[in-house]
Structure 1
């Protein structure tokens, strides 16, 4: 029950999120909120002007595809560690994958990654011609072939709320709901999150998305 309540709260947060806050603390960037192209500009500028070793993505509902890919591509050659604290969803996951080392946070906010197909808010539909780039970026960064279960889950979702939730294996919500570390959700606007299925057959670690403890 707690997991269902959590997912409902998460879907509400998507619609109310503000633009991102990008803050530098010594050699660390903290990025929180919705990613726009202007936020990508800020990230590029800060990394060009300062030595940045770590980027923490905290409670980002996603944002613009181009912003996520710009950040991810830019940091991919910078030997930067990326960390998820709280929720990192949609475009945030694209940016997160740019990290050389990618971790779940060990802080109090339970870390969660949420992947879904490229989606147009204007047309309320999946952007089919970006799916190839989406899968290619994941494989490029993880150096692993995407398993059929992952690609099928992405291809079968029917809204931006459908996709794959990847939890930390020590997440208290997961542990209280039977121990499954992945939720695959179709994304029906009527049945959120009643159409989600638990699985342990894929995880952030097995997929190579998380590659460092």
Structure 2
């Protein structure tokens, strides 16, 4: 890419990151929404374990569904992540991510094979962090954290680099974590991965870029 083209692309990316970062710090308290549309299940909001029963119900009533789309799905509990992941894994469902797919939603997303970013215009992100206490006052126990990290390592086929895994493991503070991003610059789909330590005021452009750690190479997506 020529210097002028590269500069324009970076300008577009920064505008996306600034706007998107504001949404990241103001995570919605919206309850989980699990619905069927266009022959697939769409999961949004913050998921709870009981939301998994809705997924089972939709699959039972729509046996042709083979895909779960996590769209603006912004977390939940580890119990919810496990419940959704178990269903997705056992049913051999595909998963897609669009908009924000973070925290518990990202863990559930990793159970899908194949899995990828939804091919839509705009900006999408898969964000992972270490488990934290319900009031965000500190990290969860070492046992809980290790169990989650082992699940991530298995789900990604051991492709996560030690640097990325260590950063995820240390990211328990609010608005911290490793963010795998996919976005459009003109007609070209771009990717970028950043680490936020929670001091960036929710603005992703201030987070540190992790070079060579795109979502595909790290096993976060499979295609």
Q: Calculate the TM-score normalised by the size of structure 2.
A: 0.82
- Residue 96 (1) aligns with residue 109 (2): yes
Gaps of 5+ in 1: none
1:146 is matched with: 160
Matches within 5 A, 1:41-52: 41-51=53-63, 52=65
Q: Which structure is higher in strand share?
A: 2
- Residue 184 (1) aligns with residue 198 (2): no
2 CA distance for matches of 1:181 and 1:119? 25
Give the secondary-structure state (helix, strand or coil) at the position aligned to 2:76. Answer: coil
Gaps of 5+ in 2: 1-13
2:51 is matched with: 39
Contact 2:29 2:46 in 1 (8 A): yes
- The ranges of structure 1 where at least 4 consecutive aligned residues each deviate by more than 3 angstroms after the TM superposition are 170-173, 189-195
Select the structure of larger CA radius of gyration. Answer: 2
Q: Calculate the TM-score normalised by the size of structure 1.
A: 0.86
Moved more, 92-101 or 141-150: 141-150
Moved more, 63-72 or 193-202: 193-202
Aligned match for 1:69, one of 82, 87, 90 = 82
Alpha-carbon offset, residue 149 of structure 1: 0.9
Contact 1:44 1:71 in 2 (8 A): no
Residues matched between the structures, number: 206
- Change in 2 beyond 3 A, CA 1:159/1:211: same
2 CA distance for matches of 1:191 and 1:204? 21
